[in-house]
Structure 1
């Protein structure tokens, strides 16, 4: 993978020598992949923090922080050449600590990440984290071919003013030329990506407060697609030209990405997730929300839970999935998909994937990002298998270790 990076002076700020710079990676297999890398300025030169692109990649943790939990994955290469799952762990977060991707309780989340790292048993300090898609703006534009680097930079910053709703002094901004334009002969397509500097610094500061060294700040849907790509390759015909709907069921939101050959054709978020199940449990049995969430996680629910609460929730979740697909069908020339991948903390709920297949008529399976990997001796297999779909984004972040 070739990486095109450009340092932007507006990225300088309150964190001393550490500055955030948005890099954009592109190749034939991962069509467009935006990544924020943290760099250090030393003696006037930018030096990458770590050997992410070395032949023997430095260890790297993937940590995904959502509104309900923090997930950690660490991968290596087995002697067979296959990926090896060294460690995985989940640490719950209390309601309100993370809201819409924003860190509301910084100290509490940092302490939770410290507990997560300790629970995993890792000694690795380098970490890849991610921003929600809502925190990053991307735009593809066409510019004349043959422009110099300096000319491109000036033109991109001029174009960026049209698409970024805040001052360029407040953002980490970068671009890369991704190839000849298919719609404009003589031009090249250029991808612009930007995030508010404070969003990058929040994730960077969180990692540092937890005793970690931030190496990569990715974008959540890009990380989840990287992990899902391995699963799509295991579909018939290696997933070539297959339309795959990737659903990630979070606590508050269910996101859908329609993928074909590593390209995103359509995406949509639905305001529905595992928090609704917690509310149903609390209402049915008179629990507080905290009690309901704890009992849901630990499987300590009354005998009639499956019929009185779980079944209605599965029906509602199935309807949300079906509705999201209908939005895709009415917005595009497509009228069917080839496969549904179901990820997220609520994905393994009993009967959910079967109900989705029955409702939609399309094959649906759980997205286990560790499928086909070897597993280290320190991983608790039973628990890992049960929680695997929740690790999709964290696994994609951990896979950044092997991007080269």
Structure 2
């Protein structure tokens, strides 16, 4: 019974370059369910248009709370996994500044710096070393992101990084579905509009992440050049090729191969560095909705590949259009992983 259980809600807000996506998770006792979701396109990448899209989404989506977890990405976000001498948390806070100077290409007084130990790495308690995840973000980018969120009357609880939200969504699913397969080393590949995020986890711990500057917009550009059509028509063909499916596939395949080559470099580095083979790939993002995308990745990597739908494992409120939610699932994985912070934020 949950008559006295506390009810809490959190919105995961994914502000992309082409669309703003949001998922609301509500927890009552131990149960978590989706209570609202939505997505609106962004007219352009300037601050005013992004802020307007956030306001429109929150006004139209039926969200119950203004508490949000959002995320940043891009070249102004630096992520490094560091091998450091084992030390206390207090010592780590002091030491990370000196380590950051080796990897952060802008003045540290212009950035926000954070770090944490990585559980699940090979360095056990008896080892003299430990793996530390370091994240540095340009303060100006964080401040701009906060202004976008706060201008919509929202209360930002946490700012995360896109790539980590992918594994957080998976952790949420595992906690909701005891029958979910957690074995092996999993590579999450999220194909957004302007970039692709890669996050590799083993036993729930993130061990590698990378951002690649190729995405769905590059697929559209490939259609534009190959079929000699305008950008808007190419975008429509990408989403629904109709009878022109073969022509669209031929136009996009070289770009998918380019993306695959970049991802393969990351896989090779990871497998050599950690002496672990990636066992399967979970796809998300708008780019993964292409009907032939999953098969193309299985051809390139020769690994089991699936499109990640977190709503196959997480309870969905009866008031939600489950079919509409499922059809948009690939684009909502980051937002779901952000909202999954509900359990940690409280």
Specify every segment of 5 or more residues in structure 2 that has no aligned partner in the other structure, as ranges. none
Q: Distance in 2 between matches of 1:309 and 1:265?
A: 36
Structure 2 residue aligned with 1:68: 18
Structure 2 residue aligned with 1:273: 215
Q: Distance in 2 between matches of 1:314 and 1:124?
A: 42
Greater per-residue helix proportion: 2
Q: Distance in 1 between matches of 2:207 and 2:94?
A: 30
TM-score by length of 2: 0.81
CA contact (8 A) 2:37 2:63 kept: no
Q: Distance in 1 between matches of 2:300 and 2:7?
A: 44
Q: Distance in 1 between matches of 2:281 and 2:255?
A: 17
Give the root-mean-square deviation of aligned CA atoms.
3.5
Counterpart mapping for 1:5-404 below 5 A:
56=6, 58-77=8-27, 81-95=30-44, 97=45, 105-132=46-73, 134-138=75-79, 140=82, 142=84, 145=87, 149=90, 153-176=93-116, 182=124, 192-230=134-172, 238-240=181-183, 242-283=184-225, 287-293=229-235, 296-297=238-239, 299=240, 301=241, 303-314=242-253, 316-317=255-256, 320-321=259-260, 324-325=263-264, 328-329=267-268, 332-333=271-272, 336-403=277-344
Per-residue Cα deviation, 1:371-402 (whole angstroms, up to 9, x for no partner): 21222234222322121011111101111111
CA contact (8 A) 2:27 2:33 kept: yes
TM-score by length of 1: 0.70
CA contact (8 A) 1:231 1:367 kept: no
Q: Distance in 2 between matches of 1:76 and 1:70?
A: 20
CA contact (8 A) 2:9 2:27 kept: no
Specify every segment of 5 or more residues in structure 1 that has no aligned partner in the other structure, as ranges. 1-54, 98-104
Q: Which moved more, 1:56-65 or 1:344-353?
A: 56-65
CA contact (8 A) 1:133 1:220 kept: no
- Report the Cα offset of residue 331 of structure 1: 6.2
- Report the Cα offset of residue 188 of structure 1: 6.6
Q: Distance in 2 between matches of 1:285 and 1:374?
A: 43
- Report the Cα offset of residue 190 of structure 1: 5.7
- Report the Cα offset of residue 370 of structure 1: 1.6
Q: Secondary structure at the match of 1:60?
A: strand
